[in-house]
Structure 1
Amino acid sequence: MKIVVLGGDKRNIKLAELLKDDGCDLQVFGFDKSEVNSLIFSENLYYAIKDAKIVIGPLPCSDDNILLNTPLYSENIKIDEMFEYMTKEQIFIAGKISDEILKKSKLNNILSIDLFNREEMTVLNAIPTAEGAIQVAMEEMDITIHGSKAMILGFGRIGKVLAKMLHGIGADVYVEARNYADLAWISSYGYKPVHLDKMTDLIGEMDVVFNTIPSMIVKEEILLELKKNSLIVDLASKPGGVDFEKAKELGIKTTWALGLPGKVAPITAAGILKDTIYNIIEELGV
């Protein structure tokens, strides 16, 4: 069974290497040749896709619904062209596939599967994300995480893992949530629960704030409460959850830490991707 990996970051290169080591008929496209010296590189998009059963795209799939996300490629891959070359016998697997891209997929009778809809992927992916977030904070702060006051906005998968890690290295962990069941769990784990309505009352005490909520939550009224030497690490996918312009105006240090698994732990992230893709293949009986 031929598998082709189309674009993406270092995670997808490491994924391709793992698939090759497993004996897959593996080809790549959407990378500059210097990035993939050890892999079989297709000369053009058509031949890359031709006869492939599985087409693996980037994470995230696209930033604009027009081009695939190919940060390690000096040219572009048009999504419409990709689907034009694919047949209904092929399967497209990528991350954060937008509704618009899904519509294009359906119009071309292509089955598309979003990796971020797979629980085993998102839960395990939270681990390198949380480790990377702590690494970013350690590099940007002039105090230790141990003994610092840290607030996490949101108690989803990343929030849960991050809270556990921060608590484990001695941070005083506050976790914001709006759901009372979540607040009860937060308290049971030994963290300090913060209802959304009470966030502004406490956020001014924080040394670092980690946002995991993909909607604008850290607005001007929140930023005005923060200490000038505090740090905000936004882990939310685009459009993010922080008013970065206002934060800059107020002199508050921020960092938008996107794609951390691919940056800080590409081999681990690739292993998670590979296992998830194998699960998909097994479930579909391919």
Structure 2
Amino acid sequence: MKKTKFTILGGDLRNVELAYLLKMDGNEVEVYGFDKLDLYLNQQEKLHESIFTSDVIVGPLPISEDSKMLNAPFFTGNIQINDILYLLSRKQVFTAGKISNEFQNRARDMGLNSIDYFDREEMQALNAVPTAEGAIQVAMENMDITLHSSNALILGYGRIGKTLSRMLYGLGANVYVEARDYGDLAWIENFKYKPVHLKDLEHYLSNIDVIFNTIPHVILDEYLLSRVNKDIVIINIASSPGGIDLEVAKELGLKVISAKGLPGKVAPVTAARIIKDTVYNILDELEK
């Protein structure tokens, strides 16, 4: 790929590391939205200057927590999503993770090149590994027993569920996996895990030591939460609203841990490499 001028716009440690990786590849790199950090990078002071002069603008994952402000935890100010839209030109490429449909529709209406790198299969497949490792780390830090010989339940058998199941099984856990699709349940059984259909979930909960939720909508409601053992650790990996009724869990005194954005917290360099490779793939496809 030809050398390119990048602007890294906000984000967590993944985007910090991404900036360094892109620079090491010989690209020209500027950053904006990191004034809380002392970086060995060219930090622009104005948003419009950081965008106007670049070929590719890379935003964070997720791009926003509220669909209004850019996700920029290392920035003292606020960056409005709408401002980014109006500063972009048709000759540039803008890419970020978990871009809202509203943003994408407006970008398309304006003739802008806006691409969600988190929608890419290679991104999600590779990102599942640091996510699963991070979830296991969180479990180890919060459990009073070993994962080995524990009863671990995974809600959902998508990319993260598949990766997490394999890792937990390798650690010697008794792995239970919930799914709705009978094809998924058959594969779960093939891999020697214990398949659990959603309709039967209530019958297993009292015997589970740790739950890993990968489903982004509520599964563990009041009825199901009342059936878990009181010493359980519940780890939510999914994006909001997550799979747990948090108010009920709090009333019941259950230990629920929010563990979103794990790759950026536990393995930012690996996560940055995955984003970089995915961005390169996007640019390569656009050049063809």
Is TM more than 0.5 here? yes
Compute the TM-score of the two structures, normalised by the length of structure 1.
0.98
1:28 alignment partner in structure 2: 31
1:270 alignment partner in structure 2: 272
Match of 2:152 among 137, 141, 150: 150
Could you tell me how far apart the structure 2 residues matched to 1:113 and 1:230 are?
Answer: 40
SS in structure 1 opposite 2:55?
strand
Could you tell me how far apart the structure 1 residues matched to 2:232 and 2:223 are?
Answer: 15
Alignment RMSD: 1.0
Shift of 1:167: 0.3
SS in structure 1 opposite 2:212?
strand
Instruction: Give matches, 1:248-263, under 5 Å.
Output: 248-263=250-265
What stretches of structure 2 of length at least 5 have no aligned partner? Answer: none
Could you tell me how far apart the structure 1 residues matched to 2:285 and 2:117 are?
Answer: 14
1:16 alignment partner in structure 2: 19
Contact 1:66 1:78 (8 Å CA) reproduced:
yes
Task: Report the count of equivalent residues.
Answer: 285
1:76 alignment partner in structure 2: 78
Compute the TM-score of the two structures, normalised by the length of structure 2.
0.97
Shift of 1:109: 1.9
Could you tell me how far apart the structure 2 residues matched to 1:85 and 1:98 are?
Answer: 18
- Specify whether residues 36 and 23 from structure 1 end up closer, same or farther in structure 2 by C-alpha distance, changes over 3 A only: farther
SS in structure 2 opposite 1:52?
coil
Could you tell me how far apart the structure 1 residues matched to 2:103 and 2:142 are?
Answer: 37
Shift of 1:51: 2.4
Match of 1:165 among 142, 152, 167: 167
Could you tell me how far apart the structure 2 residues matched to 1:218 and 1:104 are?
Answer: 36
Contact 1:80 1:104 (8 Å CA) reproduced:
no
Q: Deviations over 1:97-133 (max 9, x none)?
A: 0111112212332111111110000000000000000
SS in structure 2 opposite 1:151?
strand
Moved over 6 A (4+): none
What stretches of structure 1 of length at least 5 have no aligned partner? Answer: none
Q: Deviations over 1:119-154 (max 9, x none)?
A: 000000000000000000000110000010000000
- AA aligned opposite 1:61: I
- Specify whether residues 285 and 36 from structure 1 end up closer, same or farther in structure 2 by C-alpha distance, changes over 3 A only: farther
Could you tell me how far apart the structure 2 residues matched to 1:25 and 1:148 are?
Answer: 49
- AA aligned opposite 2:83: E
Could you tell me how far apart the structure 1 residues matched to 2:232 and 2:18 are?
Answer: 37
Match of 1:210 among 194, 209, 212: 212
- AA aligned opposite 1:9: D
Match of 2:143 among 141, 144, 161: 141
Shift of 1:36: 4.5
1:222 alignment partner in structure 2: 224
How many percent identity over aligned positions? 53
Shift of 1:192: 0.4
